[in-house]
A and B are shown apart, each in its own frame.
Chain A
Amino acid sequence: MTPPIVPEASELGTDVDVHAGFPNAAVDAPENALSLDRLLISSPHSTYLFRIRGHHWEHVGVFDGDIALVDRALTPRYGDAIVSQNEYGELILQRWHEPTTGQYWGVITTTIHPMRHR
């Protein structure tokens, strides 16, 4: 990911002289910035990121190359998408169908699909 060359001055935490025509209240409010981390990850210690490989879930909008956020702290509900292991020890996507005594690695809470590729 290529970051912008110059970060917002307010993020740097230095004393910033804003030579504006009149006072800029926006400079003082970094804490309210919308954070994707906070939106998408409710339990950081139990959330892991995976890369989706394969095309068999495209009909539900999960594509090869997408990122999946997987939370190990959740208990699967009927219809959830989960990560589990097949008989070869490989990690696979599965739908959780109850009642079942299957194992699961974690529950997929969100997938991220880029609309524009670099």
Chain B
Amino acid sequence: MPLIVLSSNDGCAVARSNEAKALGIKMGEPLHELKRRFCMVDGTTMKPLTDSSLPRVVAFSANFELYGDISRRVAAVLARITPKLELYSIDEAFLDISKLNIRGYERWGRQLAAKIEREVGVPVSVGIAPTKTLCKLAADHVKHHPECEGAYYARNSREESLEATPIHNIWGIGWRLAPRLHAEGIHTAADLAAMRPKHAQQLMGILGRRTVAELNGLSCIPLSSTHKPQQVISRGRQFGHDTSDFATISAAVARMTNHACHALRKEGRLATRATIWLMTNRKKPNPTTAHHDIRLSTPIADTGNISHQLLTVLQQEFDAHHEWHKAEVTLWGLVPATELQMDVFNTIQHRLYAHSSTLMTTLDSINHIYGKGTLRYAAEDLSSAWYPRRAMQSPGYTSSWDDLPAVAASTW
């Protein structure tokens, strides 16, 4: 049966099986629109959501815990090949294999794909090329050509299998740029690669010029290290249901502040400014946003302290006349913890900071050992009404002791 996975909050289709694609289900198609064309079936119970004779499509809510676990397993395999590894997203990674002693890139790639499929249990596509842009094209080629058996090596985009790639499928060419290029008669990877650098820059800026160079085999985008020091740290969520209830929204803000502060502490930095940002549903009339900025009294990374200051401001300025749809907390004006500018004579401030630092370290240690959320601030528990919808949630096969997959001891 055709199968899809829904985005966070069960909003839209973000993964489609081949059968689902064949039915014409587009990437990002909203669930409510799918419900009009198909009879949606809850994947966890296999019961249809409606009584209809429309073609059936099975749907699951996203199981981020499972995807994250699988992603980490694949990353573990890749990390043993080379430390020059960039984890680009949950399901993509770049490896710099230039200095590895590999004879026969495609054979190496096929062996890697086979190893990952055997040992982790997921099929992967391996694209090998002199540049990242070409690698992505090569991997995409593998995905649509099973005869590659998991790997493909591309020297440049003039290869027969790649030259006809439509430009919107090329990394770096977005939906805004594509019409402009089509207007100039540039439709395929071959057309793009044949552009003169100055013309490319004129039409698409320096990034476009870089893409053209990469298509021709000239590497312009280095492997970035997985860790990039952040200038701002944001955590935001869409609510399960639009709400104007202050308690619900403050619980959500408390949780987001907790996550943001945790990330801040992991980076070894402190924040001097914080902002709450609220938005109503764009699809409903009179879309509105509201934001509340605060200057933190001292540079800190203390969850309790920052939550308190943010929730105080929220309480003072909260507008309950709107049904809010999503919220985001941003910590900015970040400084490294080691360079804390402190008033040398303010020993009270120094002691408070040292106390906060010890408390936060203890909090983080306990949550690290016993699981995220073991110890938390009460403000988070005011309400769970804001939790994103996950109506068709598959079991936490690798994340919950109660959800381990079963194997039947049925016969000896």
A contact residues vs B (CB 8 Å cutoff): 1, 3, 7, 11-15, 43-46, 48-59, 62, 64, 67-68, 70, 72-73, 83, 90-93, 95
SS of A interface (majority)? mixed
Question: Cβ of A92 and Cβ of B408 under 8 Å apart?
Answer: yes
Q: Which residues of chain B are near A15, meaning CB under 8 Å?
A: 358
Question: Cβ of B361 and Cβ of A73 under 8 Å apart?
Answer: no
Question: Cβ of A50 and Cβ of B407 under 8 Å apart?
Answer: yes
B interface residue count range (under 10 / 10 to 19 / 20 to 34 / 35 or more): 20 to 34
Closest to A43 in B: B119
Q: Which residues of chain B are near A51, meaning CB under 8 Å?
A: 404-407
In the bound complex, how far is the Cα of B401 from the Cα of A58, in angstroms?
22
Question: Cβ of B366 and Cβ of A7 under 8 Å apart?
Answer: yes
Given known contacts A7-B369, A57-B409, is B119 in contact with A46 (CB within 8 Å)?
Answer: yes
Q: Which residues of chain A are near B120, meaning CB under 8 Å?
A: 45-46, 72
In the bound complex, how far is the Cα of B72 from the Cα of A73, in angstroms?
16
Q: Which residues of chain A are near B412, meaning CB under 8 Å?
A: 56-57, 59, 95
Can you list 5 contacts pairing A with B, beta carbon distance less than 8 Å?
A3-B370, A45-B74, A50-B404, A54-B409, A91-B406
Given known contacts A3-B370, A57-B412, A93-B408, is B398 in contact with A49 (CB within 8 Å)?
Answer: yes
Question: Cβ of A62 and Cβ of B401 under 8 Å apart?
Answer: no
Question: Cβ of A92 and Cβ of B411 under 8 Å apart?
Answer: yes
In the bound complex, how far is the Cα of B370 from the Cα of A58, in angstroms?
33
In the bound complex, how far is the Cα of B404 from the Cα of A51, in angstroms?
6
Question: Cβ of A44 and Cβ of B409 under 8 Å apart?
Answer: no
Question: Cβ of A64 and Cβ of B409 under 8 Å apart?
Answer: yes
Residue A45 contacts which of B77, B369, B401 (CB distance < 8 angstroms)? B77
Closest to A67 in B: B404
Asked if B241 is an interface residue, CB under 8 A from chain A, the answer is: no
In the bound complex, how far is the Cα of B409 from the Cα of A59, in angstroms?
11
Question: Cβ of B361 and Cβ of A12 under 8 Å apart?
Answer: yes
Chain B, residues 337-380, CB within 8 Å of chain A (1/0): the string is: 00000000000000000000010011001100110000000000
In the bound complex, how far is the Cα of B370 from the Cα of A35, in angstroms?
16
Q: Which residues of chain B are near A55, meaning CB under 8 Å?
A: 409
In the bound complex, how far is the Cα of B366 from the Cα of A55, in angstroms?
39
Q: Which residues of chain A are near B411, meaning CB under 8 Å?
A: 56, 92
Q: Which residues of chain B are near A56, meaning CB under 8 Å?
A: 409-412
Question: Cβ of A91 and Cβ of B365 under 8 Å apart?
Answer: no
